[in-house]
Copies of this chain bind each other. A is one copy, B any other.
Amino acid sequence: MLRSLDYAGSPSEPASLGMTGLREQFPILSATSRGKPLVYLDSAATTQKPQVVIDAERDFYTGWNANIHRGVYEYSERATVAYDGTRATAARFLGGVDADEIVFVRGTTEAINLVAQSFFRPRIATAGATVLVTEMEHHANIVPWQLAGATLVPIPVTDAGELDMEAATRLLAARPAMLAVMHVSNALGTINPIAELCAMARTHGVPVLIDGAQAVGHFAVDLPALGADFYCFSGHKLFGPTGTGVLWGRREHLAMMPPYQGGGDMIDLVRFEGSSFARPPERFEAGTPNIAGVIGLNAAMQWVMAQDTRAWERHDRELLELGRHLLGEIPGLRFIARPADAVGVLTFAMDGAHPHDIASILDGEGICIRAGHHCAQPLHVRFGVPSSARASFGPYTTEAEVRALATGLQKVRELFG
């Protein structure tokens, strides 16, 4: 465990204890990039997939592929049960909500668009158009509200990369139509005080949507304890397939929301003069969904629930401390912010070296990091930088990889020296 770790230790030291046997489950992690062993430090963009997830999709296609609902033959029944059964898995995964409150979507982005169009938009007339967001939001939690006609008010972010809770208290008291806030920042790693925000919002009668995209892969989410109205995440950031995601919404909200997309499976009666619609969750799932993807997502959630995520948290925290320590010693390197409560994300700039150059040079070493605005332009405006470089961890990330990053950055430093 890192608490007893010697920061000057050699890169060949074993990964911390909790994570033994985890890497082997991810076939890609033994691959190479640019002729070097892959050092994947871009898990905030998308996570890698364990074999069980890859197999779940393949087994479906090779063994029992069929379209769901309305089919009464064996494969279709099995596919239907597996698809709809994933709602129960998701409901458990989120700490115990109702399976009927789980809507499958393409990802976090679609989930927020759905809520913006089907929940927020029809309420503008009565609740007003103001949506309270934060300065650190991902574009996915900004643009959908704008497209739905919102006036956005951002909760400011402090120099430490944390929410200004005093401002939040004040702004919530003005009773916006909605509070839309990220659980964990993809750009800074900040873990936001969601339960506190939800409690405040509740006293003012403000419904809350939580963007959980960066939370679910890092720690267990307990929705009943959070008290939000909507929560969403993407499968591909949770070791699951691309093109999958979950929107959870309170039963009473879903029940009164109009459909989002129209088509097969979300209807009751279709006539040219007008149609009536199915109950939630089907009402919000028009057309053939990503069946294989949802089956893969089921495997991913089951897999995560079988892990020791407490150990993940410790490991993540240890790597973050190590990374902050090692990178902090590199001359000219500066973290955009250092939030106290954070997941394993290192976001920085380097004097004289543009983030894209940093990323390209690390790429030559087989090290994958991201450079740019990380879909958080307003946050970069806030911190007065056009872009930044970001290394982000998964549970499979090792100490040796964090050390390799530091070594690589030393090289960048020398090159641009």
- Interface residues of A, Cβ cutoff 8 Å to B: 27-28, 31, 33-34, 38, 42, 45-46, 48-49, 53-54, 57-58, 61-67, 70-76, 106-110, 112-113, 116, 133, 138-140, 142-147, 152-154, 234, 236, 241-244, 258-259, 261-267, 269-275, 286-293, 356, 359-360, 362-363, 367-372, 375, 377-378, 381
Which B residues lie within 8 Å of A152 (CB)? 272-273
Q: List chain B residues, Cβ under 8 A from A67.
A: 42, 45-46, 236
Contact of A369 among B73, B266, B271, B273 (CB under 8 A): B73
Given known A-B contacts A146-B275, A272-B154, A139 and B76 have beta carbons under 8 A apart: no
When A261-B113, A262-B113 are in contact, do A54 and B46 touch as well, CB less than 8 Å?
Answer: no
A136 vs B273: C-alpha distance when bound (angstroms): 15
Chain B residues closer than 8 Å to A73, beta-carbon distance: 33, 42, 359, 362-363, 367-369
Which 4 A-B residue pairings sit nearest by Cβ, starting from the closest? Answer: A109-B287, A243-B290, A143-B262, A109-B263
CB-based nearest B residue for A153:
B272
Partner among B74, B144, B375, B381 whose Cβ is within 8 Å of the Cβ of A261: B144
Q: Would A375 and B244 count as touching, CB distance under 8 A? A: no
Other than A241-B293, A269-B377, give 13 A-B pairs with Cβ distance below 8 A: A33-B75, A42-B71, A46-B288, A108-B287, A139-B270, A139-B275, A142-B275, A145-B262, A147-B259, A242-B291, A242-B292, A243-B289, A270-B378
CB atoms of B370 and A70 under 8 A apart: yes
The closest CB in chain B to the CB of A141 belongs to B263
B28 and A46 form a contact (CB under 8 A)? no
The CA-CA distance from A116 to B286 in the complex, in Å, is 14
A275–B63 touching, CB < 8 Å: no
19 A-B residue pairings within 8 Å (CB atoms): A45-B71, A54-B58, A57-B57, A70-B372, A73-B369, A106-B287, A109-B262, A113-B261, A113-B286, A116-B262, A139-B270, A144-B261, A144-B263, A147-B258, A147-B259, A242-B289, A264-B375, A267-B377, A270-B378
Count the copies: 2
**Inter-subunit contact B293/A242 (CB<8 Å):** yes
User: Which residue on B lies nearest to A145, using beta carbons?
Assistant: B262
CB distance from A136 to the nearest CB of B (A): 12
Q: A102–B255 Cα gap in the complex (Å)?
A: 35
A367 to B58, CA, bound (A): 23
Cβ of A290: which chain B residues have Cβ within 8 Å of it?
106, 241-243, 290, 293
Contact of A272 among B28, B107, B133, B271 (CB under 8 A): B133
The minimal Cβ–Cβ distance linking A272 to chain B, given in whole angstroms, is: 5
Q: Which residue of B lies closest to A374 (CB)?
A: B70
Report chain B residues within 8 Å CB of A367. 73
Q: Which residues of B contact A363 (CB under 8 A)?
A: 72-74
